[in-house]
Structure 1
Amino acid sequence: MTAGTASVSPASAGRLPVVVVGAGAMGGEWLRMLATSEIAVPVGIVDLDLELARTTAASIGLDDVVIGASVADVARLSGAEAVINVTVPQAHGVVNEEAMRAGLPVLCEKPLAPTVAEALRQVALADITGELLMVSQSRRYFPHLAVFREVVGRLGALAAVSADFFHEDHEPGFRERMAHPLLVDMSVHHFDQLRYVTGDEPVAVRCTSWNPPWSWFDGDAAATADFELASGARFAYAGSRCTPGLQTSFNADWRVYGENGAASWDGEDVVRLEAAGSVSEERGSVPEAQDTPEGIAGSLAEFVAALRSGATPQNEVRANVLSLAMVEGAIRSTELGGDRVVLAGLLEESLAQAIVAERSADIADVLRSWTSAAAGITTPAWGSTPALIASGGAR
């Protein structure tokens, strides 16, 4: 295939053959969804634990998939045309690089990377290979979130946005061992939803996090954060993953206040608007969205559509970096005792760190060619220009 072009023929109407990397709990969820999908089919599973991969495949009835420990080998043997990366965050970069250098587009589970520096490295890799790298921010794909976004658009200039997330999550494994299981594994969804709903971008953050004494998480399972947005509005966030009562939706409980009124979303099926002295409410199903896939199925649908059309999807790697920067900024602030962290500064520090740490000459050349991190993440998106040459070619 040619770098910089869609990996799937726009005329292709069959199920996209994919390799799923990661056979754990989340990998199993993806594989079960893919097994009945009309737009994609799992033809390979990659995991370092081959017995786990075989057991997972057998439990879903995937008897004919190719199983192995190498992304490139399994993709070649199975005829896969794309990769779905469902590994732990620390492995995302390695898997994404192996796939993209093998000429395969990738749909990667969130968070894209453990750090913004690593995320910038992956932007450079996308520039070099010309392959699509999309992040599965699956909580963008709910019909009532789209309704809420439309309603918020009627409020005019915004003053304040709040989101509360309180849940009791028992997920034995790496999540319960994380240093910041709330901010890294759940808040990244809510921060990304904030950007989607308002169209506003984060400027700075103050955050504190802690772990309640009864928590079953090793790291901080609770946090509050105050984000300054580019418009001048504020985003107030509060959350916990170990709250046994009055639990909110996984999508959080939202309020938005603007010059023309206020809007709310319960994170499920109730959107309310109070403006010009009247109250309206959207409750229940959204008729036009009955056949619209939700969650990870929604991520998959947009990924496949992008590959077939050449269009740039939501959360293409460049667009997702600021959602990750909100997470890293919040963590940095809490580690500084709640001090204000400016995200533009964090981005530039991350670019400097990425350049110093980089061992691949072609990636280092691209990173050094950027005039700033901000410029790097606003380079032409996938599908719009040919891939850069390995020397980092001029923009």
Structure 2
Amino acid sequence: MAQHKVVVAGCGGMANEWLDYAAQRENVEVVGLVDLFEEAAKKMAQKRGLNVPTFTDLSEALAHTGANLVFDVTIPASHKQIATTALRAGVHVFGEKPMAETLADAQEVLAVANASGKRYSVMQNRRYLKHIRALSSFLAGGGIGKVGALHADFFLGPHFGGFRETMASPLILDMAIHTFDQARFLSGADPVSVYCHEFNPAGSWYAGNASAICIFEMSDGSVFSYRGSWSAQGAGTSWESDWRVTGSLGTALWDGDNRPTAEEVSGDEGFMHPTKAIEVPDIWTGRQGHFGCLDNMFDALEHDRLAETDSSDNIKSVAMVFGAIESAKTGQKVMLG
């Protein structure tokens, strides 16, 4: 079994979940902790009972420890630097989303990954929920025929405080990549174009645009529409959004929390053709959330294949985010890819 010597970059709260995972995997050894503030790394080592060196510089950590894998759980502004430093040192990277803070930077990171021959996989934990896995499999199997459109509603009113409430595009930039990536996963298609209107509705406590409506044209001819707000108080949706998928033979619904439901056309007579409920089988037997995504990343690395969320794929979800922001700024449809 391949042995993975891991340096963890970033010792904030998110590091705990990744360290929980590492502790459960027999072939993973954490060999170092890196944080811009070394005291944070020392506190994390003490908290977790890790007898490992701490660093403020990733290059130094890699040289000292001989690590062959980096967990990047730093803030988004650091992702480009952490990923490219590790990749250029010949070390694989598993990291939190997003790949970078701009599309150009994400493309540069991908180029470095390709040149290095090393893997850079990105955390998209919301793909790894049993209900979305069930819906994806159902749609791929033709459960409602050929998919024509996907619609996602996301309406919540979180009072984060801090940086999100001062961002120019908090919803699109910080959250929507999850839903955009889920749309790609469910449709099995890639984005072709986007038109987006951002706005900040009455009552919003955000300085930037906390709401948006987006229309994506997809590579299979389907359309994905997104309506979202982070300043919608009352009658909230799930964090996974509320989904409606229409196909040539029926419709599937998923509220983000419970098992998806579906109806298919059962006859061809009458003004409104009759429909009947059909089952969406729960087929996912893997783990959920971060652990499910990390399982896939490690399995791919150990079998020399691309992870489901490899950077070469994930950049398409990144392009949806920055394409939507560009469209909102210009008032024009933006072509993607």
Query: With structure 1 as the length reference, what TM-score do the two structures score?
Result: 0.77
1:163 aligns with 2:152: yes
- Distance in 1 of aligned mates of 2:27 and 2:163: 31
User: In the alignment, which of 190, 193, 204 is matched to residue 179 of structure 2?
Assistant: 190
Q: Is residue 134–residue 284 contact of structure 2 (8 Å, CA) maintained in 1?
A: no
Q: 2:39: which partner in 1?
A: 51
Given residue 297 of structure 1, which amino acid in structure 2 is its aligned partner? F
CA shift for structure 1 position 340: 1.2
1:65 aligns with 2:63: no
User: In the alignment, which of 67, 74, 83 is matched to residue 96 of structure 1?
Assistant: 83
> Any stretches of 5+ residues in structure 1 without a counterpart?
1-10, 345-395
Given residue 68 of structure 2, which amino acid in structure 1 is its aligned partner? E
Q: 1:328: which partner in 2?
A: 322
> Any stretches of 5+ residues in structure 2 without a counterpart?
266-274
- Distance in 2 of aligned mates of 1:143 and 1:227: 25
CA shift for structure 1 position 84: 1.2
Q: 1:234: which partner in 2?
A: 223
CA shift for structure 1 position 36: 4.2
Change (3 A) 1:174 1:75: farther
SS of 2:260's equivalent in the other structure is strand
Q: Deviating runs (4+, > 4 A) in structure 1?
A: 36-39
Q: Is residue 11–residue 35 contact of structure 2 (8 Å, CA) maintained in 1?
A: yes
Q: What is the CA deviation profile of residues 305-347 of structure 1, one whole-angstrom value per residue up to 9, with x for unaligned ones?
A: 122110111121111121111111110111123x211114xxx
SS of 1:299's equivalent in the other structure is helix
SS of 1:231's equivalent in the other structure is coil
Given residue 86 of structure 1, which amino acid in structure 2 is its aligned partner? V
CA shift for structure 1 position 99: 0.6
Root-mean-square deviation over aligned CA pairs: 2.1
Matched ranges for 1:288-327 at <5 A:
289-290=284-285, 292-327=286-321
1:263 aligns with 2:252: yes
Q: 2:243: which partner in 1?
A: 254
CA shift for structure 1 position 44: 2.0
- Larger RCO: 1 or 2 (CA < 8 Å, sep 6+): 1
Q: 2:8: which partner in 1?
A: 20
- Distance in 1 of aligned mates of 2:19 and 2:95: 14
Q: Is residue 137–residue 299 contact of structure 1 (8 Å, CA) maintained in 2?
A: yes
CA shift for structure 1 position 179: 2.0
Q: Is residue 135–residue 280 contact of structure 2 (8 Å, CA) maintained in 1?
A: no
Q: Is residue 39–residue 304 contact of structure 1 (8 Å, CA) maintained in 2?
A: no
User: In the alignment, which of 130, 137, 149 is matched to residue 136 of structure 2?
Assistant: 149
Which region of structure 1 is more displaced relative to structure 2, 27-36 or 110-119?
Answer: 27-36
Q: What is the CA deviation profile of residues 277-328 of structure 1, one whole-angstrom value per residue up to 9, with x for unaligned ones?
A: 2203459xx4x545x2222112211111122110111121111121111111
CA shift for structure 1 position 165: 1.1
Query: With structure 2 as the length reference, what TM-score do the two structures score?
Result: 0.89
- Distance in 2 of aligned mates of 1:212 and 1:41: 48
Q: Is residue 269–residue 282 contact of structure 1 (8 Å, CA) maintained in 2?
A: no
- Distance in 2 of aligned mates of 1:229 and 1:293: 29
Kindly tell me the number of residue pairs found equivalent between the two proteins: 326
